[in-house]
C-alpha cells in the first residue's frame, strides 16, 4: 500500500508476526530493509512487479540494523541487481555483511558466559533466514541525507541502528528502534517481548524521537502510529523499560548470593502479568542482560563458569 506520497509499505511476515518493509520511489528508488532470505521472492518481487518494476529498478537498499529479518534478503536482491548499493549503520556493518558473524555475536552471544543459546533446530532456522553473506557498500553514522530523507542514528536495539525521517511528510521509518511493550502476531496475540539490548541508548533514542516529533511512526513490526499515537507508543516503550528495570532490581534484592542471567530471566518472567512460555521467555535475554550491565553489578562465576550477578553488600 502507498502510505505517504511516493512511499509504499510492503507487508511480509516472520515467525507469525508482521514484517513491514518500505519502498521509497523518486529520484533514487530505495528499499528500507530486505526481510529474511525468502522475503524477496515471496513478497518484495511480487510487490515491485505489481508496480511495473523489477529488482533492477532499485538503486539503494538501506538496512536499519543487524537482524535476520532485516538483512536476510540482501544477497537475493544483490544477485538480482548487481548495481544495487547496500547500506547500513556503521556500527552494524560487520554483522550485516556476514550472517555467520551475526549468529555468533548476536544470537549465540550469551552461550559462553551464561549457558543460554538456541537449540540445533532453532539455529538451523536462524541460518536459513539469515541468507548468504553480502558485503555492505556504504555506511551511515547519522546526519546524512538521501534526497528528502534524513538519516538518524538510533541505537539501543543494535549499536548501529538507523532510521529514516521523511522531511516532506514528517513520517519517521524507525525499524525496531522503539518497540512498545510487545510484538503482536498476525493473529493479534502476543508473540514476542521487546528485544532492546543497551538500555540507556534505547531510552535516549526514545527521547530523540520525542524531540523530533514525527507526524507518523512506521516501525517494522508494529501498527503505524499517527498524531497523539506516536507519543503514546513512545510512552509505552519507556514504561516497559522502567518496569523491567524495577523487576530486575527486586529479584536481585531478594537474592543476596546472586543470580545468573538464566535465573534473572526465570524470576522476572514469573513476575510478569502474563508470563511467557519458556521458548519465548528466553528472548528476555537481550533486554535483561542489558539491564544487568546497566546496573554495573559485582560479578563472579559459578561452578559451570557462568556469570553470577549480585548487588554490592
Q: What is the CATH number of the domain that holds 47?
A: 3.60.15.10
pLDDT in the model for residue 224: 97
Query: Does 234 fall in a domain?
Result: no
Say yes or no: 19 and 137 in one domain. yes
Say yes or no: 151 and 252 in one domain. no
Q: Does the structure show a pLDDT above 70 at 248?
A: yes
Closest CA to 44 of 52, 35, 205, 80: 35
Which residues span the domain enclosing 202? 2-226
Say yes or no: 85 and 9 in one domain. yes
The DSSP H or E segment spanning 265 is helix 261-271
* Residue 171, beta-bridge partner list: 216
* CA 163/CA 271 separation, integer angstroms: 33
**CATH (domain of 302):** 3.30.420.610
pLDDT in the model for residue 161: 98
pLDDT in the model for residue 313: 58
Query: Does 118 fall in a domain?
Result: yes
pLDDT band at 296 (very low <50, low <70, confident <90, very high): confident
Query: Does 56 fall in a domain?
Result: yes
Q: What is the mean pLDDT of residues 2-15?
A: 96
Say yes or no: 45 and 123 in one domain. yes
Structural domains in the chain (count): 2
Query: Does 233 fall in a domain?
Result: no
Q: How far apart are the first and last CA of the chain?
A: 57
The three cell numbers of residue 155 are 541505537
Say yes or no: 28 and 156 in one domain. yes
Query: Does 231 fall in a domain?
Result: no
Say yes or no: 213 and 260 in one domain. no
pLDDT in the model for residue 298: 85
Give the tens place of pLDDT for each residue, 109-152.
999 999 999 999 999 999 999 999 999 999 999 999 999 999 99
Give the tens place of pLDDT for each residue, 173-213.
999 999 999 999 999 999 999 999 999 999 999 999 999 99
Crossing angle for the helix pair 285-294 and 261-271, to the nearest 10 degrees: 110
Domain boundary among 176, 200, 226: 226
Say yes or no: 205 and 286 in one domain. no
Query: Does 232 fall in a domain?
Result: no
The three cell numbers of residue 211 are 524531540
Q: Which residue has the higher pLDDT, 313 or 159?
A: 159
Give the tens place of pLDDT for each residue, 263-282.
999 999 999 999 999 999 99
For the beta carbon of residue 85, count every other beta carbon within 10 angstroms. 16
Say yes or no: 202 and 59 in one domain. yes
Contacts of 29 (CB under 8 A, 6+ apart): 23, 53, 57, 58, 59, 60
Q: Does the structure show a pLDDT above 70 at 71?
A: yes
Q: Does the structure show a pLDDT above 90 at 311?
A: no
Say yes or no: 119 and 267 in one domain. no
Domain boundary among 204, 226, 248: 226
Chain position carrying cell 515471496: 42
Say yes or no: 285 and 159 in one domain. no
Q: What global pTM score does this model have?
A: 0.96
How far is the CA of 163 from the CAs of 26, 134, 222, in angstroms? 18, 21, 15
Domain boundary among 202, 226, 250: 226
DSSP 267-310: HHHHHSSSPPPHHHHGGGHHHHHHHHHHTT-EEEE-TTS-EEEE
Amino acid at each position: 500500500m502507498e502510505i505517504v506520497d511516493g512511499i509504499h509499505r510492503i507487508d511480509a511476515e516472520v515467525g507469525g508476526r508482521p514484517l513491514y518493509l518500505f519502498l521509497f520511489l523518486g529520484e533514487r528508488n530505495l528499499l528500507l530493509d530486505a526481510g529474511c532470505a525468502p522475503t524477496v521472492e515471496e513478497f518484495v518481487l511480487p510487490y515491485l512487479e505489481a508496480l511495473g518494476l523489477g529488482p533492477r529498478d532499485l538503486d539503494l537498499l538501506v538496512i536499519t540494523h543487524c537482524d535476520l529479518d532485516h538483512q536476510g534478503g540482501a544477497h537475493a536482491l544483490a544477485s538480482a541487481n548487481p548495481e544495487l548499493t547496500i547500506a547500513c549503520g556503521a556500527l552494524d556493518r560487520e554483522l550485516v555483511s556476514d550472517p555467520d558473524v551475526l549468529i555468533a555475536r548476536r544470537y549465540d552471544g550469551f552461550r559462553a558466559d551464561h549457558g543460554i543459546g538456541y537449540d540445533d533446530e532453532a539455529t538451523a532456522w536462524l541460518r536459513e533466514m539469515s541468507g548468504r553473506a553480502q558485503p555492505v557498500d556504504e555506511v551511515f553514522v547519522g546526519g546524512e541525507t538521501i534526497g528528502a530523507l534524513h538519516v538518524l542514528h538510533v541505537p539501543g536495539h543494535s549499536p548501529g541502528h538507523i532510521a529514516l525521517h521523511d522531511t516532506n511528510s514528517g513520517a519517521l521509518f524507525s525499524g525496531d528502534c522503539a518497540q512498545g511493550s510487545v510484538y503482536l502476531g498476525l493473529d493479534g496475540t502476543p508473540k514476542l517481548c521487546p528485544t532492546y539490548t543497551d538500555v540507556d541508548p534505547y531510552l535516549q533514542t526514545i527521547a530523540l524521537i520525542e524531540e523530533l516529533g514525527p507526524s507518523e511512526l512506521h516501525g517494522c513490526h508494529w501498527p503505524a502510529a499517527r498524531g497523539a499515537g506516536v507519543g503514546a507508543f513512545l510512552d509505552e516503550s519507556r514504561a516497559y523499560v522502567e518496569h523491567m528495570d524495577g523487576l530486575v532490581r527486586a529479584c536481585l534484592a531478594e537474592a543476596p548470593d546472586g543470580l545468573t542471567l538464566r535465573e534473572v530471566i526465570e524470576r522476572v518472567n514469573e513476575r510478569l502479568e502474563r508470563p511467557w512460555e519458556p521458548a519465548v521467555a528466553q528472548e528476555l535475554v537481550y533486554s535483561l542482560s542489558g539491564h544487568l550491565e546497566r546496573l554495573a553489578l559485582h560479578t563472579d562465576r559459578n561452578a559451570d563458569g557462568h556469570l553470577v550477578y549480585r548487588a554490592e553488600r
